[in-house]
Chain A
């Protein structure tokens, strides 16, 4: 609201607490300007799903973004063979909501943990993540940079834990230990409708303890809490993690409403009902409150760690110009 009193703010004292304005300037309109800009440019979000086959990864991603965005959307037969090595399949879609465009990329990892011998099945994944950082680094280091560097870095990795009800598998701890320092890992208990509520609580506690003991820092990491408000919010979330989720893309009629759910012979599991499972919590956390934070942590912390390591390795990077045919020292 632009008022008539856009007079000069005569504040001669440089206090650290900020000076009081004598009239309305209009600085707060910057939020509106930013919003307009973001809506025009849209933004990218890359999410990776990792877990054994049959844990409902693709279904969950479809449910999260309420559309068919998983790799199974592009033609999939139910009896698709399990691949012999871990493959990385990335599928991109542009989805729009409220005028905001988002380019969502879902990176799937079929074949993870499915073989008899699963040694080093995390290597292809680690390599992929580092490759994305490398691509971004190369672009950044160019003399003539593109206006907007395409961001293919993995912002978030959702790791699916099998609902055994007992302990974490060895493969789970190995994977998370190795990757928690290069990407944001969000552990999630898959197919939560296998367990009753008490079993779920017990399992969650055991998993959390095991993660603590192994020193695995999942997102939101404690060390990156910026202030007290963040800390208290994140603490609440950390207490509730890992979320026990159920995914479904079918709708059923319950009490006159149409809800997403799974119909069994003894009842309908409602996906968005907080008494049934924690999908709603996961969705709010992931999309409605921490989406931007995920991107920032990836950019400011994980990417910077990678960059520092690379720069220290080679003793300096030489930027290349796009017109020069000289090869860089990268």
Chain B
């Protein structure tokens, strides 16, 4: 646990800007480091480690050796045991407790990296993963309720280089170039027991030369104020990239139990400084620089991501000359601007929609009117038809009445005639009888 993140004005030492006052008695704020320590211990720590490399380079074994757990055991085989056709990004969480300190360790593995015949863009899933974690953190930071902010950003990326003995492969160079400004990249030489010490030296020199040639920014160890520490750090820097061997198998050598790999010609000890740089890696990663890795991720890589992201948001659809001035505004003002823009956009959209609505209504009304007129016309026509028919009917009836009247008249005449006829017959009868 390093206190490098602790503000220096709290140290009881001579600071140039402040006048040192002599205290009359014991106040007690010298106890502050302990309070910070206790609080952090209660909270626990988080650390996310990403391992990238072709399959078969011993990534899972190294993780197991570093943290002395069987993260990938026989019951839950690691991604290396399964053949992958495309690059996947898998994460596994483990809670480790030691000396009262809790560490939530997340290991992100990338099975399938560099295994296909065509490996173009096999780094894309990795980049997407790192960006998505940064975005999650950005969103969590911008929220109103920030009580629980889990830090899932990738703090460190261990890149495994195959021990060819010649130099970096094009894939290695390409990958590191794309990721060195997003995450702390620490290159490692995997399976270092393949190389003899001379070959290892040559290989390391070759790699460092190529890294400098391609301007790849790997993680740099910060210089401390302590001279002794500086010496150690310089020694570590000379050994970069670290050549590691991983193993959790315990073998007995000269009566001592060590972790190592048993060969017919000897035992390669994992924790022996002359055999490989595993102890250097472990000390650096866990014992001294874990906090620094987190800080660099937070202060450098995350801030890069954040400023890029926020600048991109405000650049949408606005003149470039305007954006130059906008970039110097504070984020709050930027957000206000954004909100105003958004509101204006909404209003415009509303007005447009209203217009469209009106137009549609008018159309509909027109249509209705037209159909109404049409209906009226038809109605008139029908009425006229009806009247005409009615008139016809009347005519017919009159004709019929006339006929009836005629016929009746005729009938009466006939009847009259019949009567007359009968009358004359009677008269005739009377007259006849006289005869």
**Which residues of chain A have a CB within 8 Å of any CB of chain B?**
52-55, 78-80, 82, 114-119, 162-167, 169-171, 174, 191, 193-194, 196-197, 262-270, 273, 275-276
Contacts and interface: CB of A to CB of B under 8 A. Distances in A.
Contacts of B102: none
Given A264-B197, A266-B275, A267-B263, A165 B117 contact: no
A117 B169 contact: no
10 contacts: A52-B164, A53-B164, A78-B202, A82-B169, A164-B54, A170-B116, A197-B263, A263-B196, A265-B268, A267-B265
Nearest to A193: B194
B424 interface: no
Given A53-B164, A267-B266, A118 B118 contact: yes
Contact of A162 (B56, B171, B266): B56
Contact of B118 (A79, A117, A165, A263): A117
Contacts of B263: 193, 196-197, 266-267, 269, 276
A109 to B, nearest CB: 15
Interface string B257-301: 000011111111100101100000000000000000000000000
Nearest to B260: A266
Contact of B267 (A117, A162, A266): A266
B115 interface: yes
A270 B265 contact: yes
A237 to B, nearest CB: 22
Nearest to B267: A266
- Select the residue from B115, B164, B202, B206 with max chain A CB neighbours within 10 A: B164
| The 6 residue pairs across chains A and B that have the minimum distance between CB atoms | A54-B164, A164-B56, A267-B266, A267-B265, A266-B266, A117-B118
Given A53-B164, A116-B119, A118-B118, A196 B261 contact: yes
Task: Give the bracket for the number of chain B residues in contact with chain A.
Answer: 35 or more
Given A167-B55, A170-B115, A170-B117, A264 B167 contact: no
A36 to B, nearest CB: 44
Interface in B161-185: 162-167, 169-171, 174
A191 B194 contact: yes
B83 interface: yes
Contact of B169 (A79, A114, A267): A114
B153 interface: no
B326 interface: no
B265 A78 contact: no
A162 B206 CA distance: 21
B264 A275 contact: yes
A118 B174 CA distance: 15
B169 A197 contact: no
Given A52-B164, A267-B267, 7 more contacts: A54-B162, A164-B55, A165-B56, A167-B56, A191-B163, A264-B268, A266-B266
A295 B72 CA distance: 48
A118 B116 CA distance: 8
Interface string B384-407: 000000000000000000000000
Interface string B64-78: 000000000000000
Contacts of B2: none
Nearest to A210: B83
Nearest to A80: B166
Contact of A54 (B166, B171, B265, B269): B166
B109 interface: no
Contacts of B162: 54, 162
- Select the residue from A55, A80, A167 with max chain B CB neighbours within 10 A: A167
Contact of A82 (B118, B170, B264): B170
A305 to B, nearest CB: 26
A165 B129 CA distance: 28
B320 interface: no
A48 B411 CA distance: 140
A275 B272 CA distance: 25
A194 B164 CA distance: 12
A71 to B, nearest CB: 14
Contacts of A275: 264
A193 B193 contact: yes
B271 to A, nearest CB: 13
Contact of B269 (A119, A266, A269, A273): A266
Contacts of B423: none
B169 A169 contact: no
Contacts of A53: 164, 166, 169
A284 to B, nearest CB: 20
B324 interface: no
Contact of A264 (B163, B170, B174, B266): B266
B295 to A, nearest CB: 33
B262 A196 contact: yes
B152 interface: no
A53 B167 CA distance: 9
Nearest to A162: B56
Nearest to B114: A116
B381 interface: no
Contact of A268 (B115, B116, B265): B265
Given A78-B202, A194-B194, A264-B266, A116 B56 contact: no
B206 A78 contact: yes
Contacts of A165: 56
- Select the residue from B83, B163, B263, B265 with max chain A CB neighbours within 10 A: B265
B156 interface: no
A225 to B, nearest CB: 32
A193 B268 CA distance: 11
A328 to B, nearest CB: 38
B120 interface: yes
Interface in B81-109: 81, 83
B209 interface: yes
